[in-house]
Amino acid sequence: MTDILTQFEGLLKAGKIEEAKAMLGKLAERELTPDEEAEAKVLQTRLSIKLTNAINKAYLETLDESIEKLKSLNRIGRAFDEKVKLAEARSALAQ
């Protein structure tokens, strides 16, 4: 079962999703021994954790990018406000 696990993870890492699906289909069709069943549950838990971590990582990266964009927009907004205030002051002095 460990070899199958390694092959499955290798397929996922290589981006061969269809082949990984086919492998899972073949596994689902055959009877598992109690040891293989326990290993399968461990695999399911490991995959769940890996997927959760990948989703959380992607979320944090997107969040960081959004924060940086908001900071940039804030800087642009402050610069614009300063230009407006300066233009208003010049206009008031010109009158």
- What is the DSSP-derived secondary structure letter of residue 30? S
**Predicted pLDDT at 68:** 97
**Crossing angle of helices 2-13/34-94, nearest 10°?**
30
pLDDT of 2 reads 62
The predicted model scores a pTM of: 0.52
Residues (pLDDT < 50) of the chain are: none
The domain spans of the chain are 1-30, 34-95
